[in-house]
Structure 1
Amino acid sequence: METIRPIVGAVMKYYVTIEDRTVEIVLSDTPVERVATIDGVEYTFDLAAVSGGAFFSLMVNNASHEIMVEDTEAGMEIIVGGQLFHIAVQDEWERRLATIQRRNTTDTGEIVVRAPMPGAVIAVTATIQARVARGEGLVILSAMKMENDIRAPRDGVITVVHVSPGDKVEHGAPLVTLGPA
């Protein structure tokens, strides 16, 4: 049985949606125990893979649960105690990106695509006067040791590229200005 462990001292934040309810889960790992804080309530836990597949042993506050986890196109399916749950999981970075991409998706005027957090510009795929489709990559930003593709929130034409590879940007800094299609 393989125990699944994050880096000691690491704190990770996730947003889990089950049907119409979204909860914030903060996972922290200390040398003594692993803690999940779910909507402000702390639980000690441990998770171990059983026989290398989709089966896991989950200990929560010293109570054991056998669970099965399977990835789907829409998120995940989890079976706990014979009950099936359809869930979607976003980490903090994915949630910020989704929020930014949802903003202004129905606007027809000019919009500025901004950096969701501080980071370094790795690459710029956007070029002035290029037509882009919603979801098309514009800038690759390195933040929190991850490369993140910043995408067009809607169809349009690139009117201004505000950054170049190697630039350091702060949260909210303009990356690309997108005009109407």
Structure 2
Amino acid sequence: MGALYRLVRSAVPEWAVLRPSWFMQNFTGDHAVAHSLRADREVVTATGDGRVAFVDADDIAAVAFRALTDPEPHDAEHVITGPEALSYADAAATIARVTGLPVRHRAVDVPELVDRLDAAGVPRAFAAVLAGLDEDIRRGAEDRVTDTVARVTGRPARSFAEHVAAHREVFAA
């Protein structure tokens, strides 16, 4: 982690590194979180009460566009987050509130998450890496909010509730 940033900064005269938080699309795309939401109406993590400022991929793209097209090089590491840090329980409650569907967060420990991912077909070594990332979240590694989207694009970052509302049909599927 961080090696790319150091390499780019030392090797390229004009640069920008994008470091987005966890994607809102993990709840709507082809991701374990989205699969358990659709199948069981629950989000299963080992994150405990840890919080993440989930970011919309469109906001990441907007920052990238500006980094590539602005007349002045950014020469910056852009940590890109959404506008609010949420626990997965908060995210599940937001999905339930916006969609009207019964959705909950189920907290498990790291070994149980590894077993769950392994049973779903994720190679066990990779399942351990993913569960370790949940442990990092539980310890506060992602509990931060930046103003990068607003500062770079001139518009606010999309909220998690706005993302859920825009993809309501995915949750109902």
Q: Same fold (TM over 0.5)?
A: no
| Normalised TM-score (structure 1) | 0.23
Larger Rg: 1
Highest RCO, 1 vs 2 (Cα 8 Å, sep ≥ 6): 2
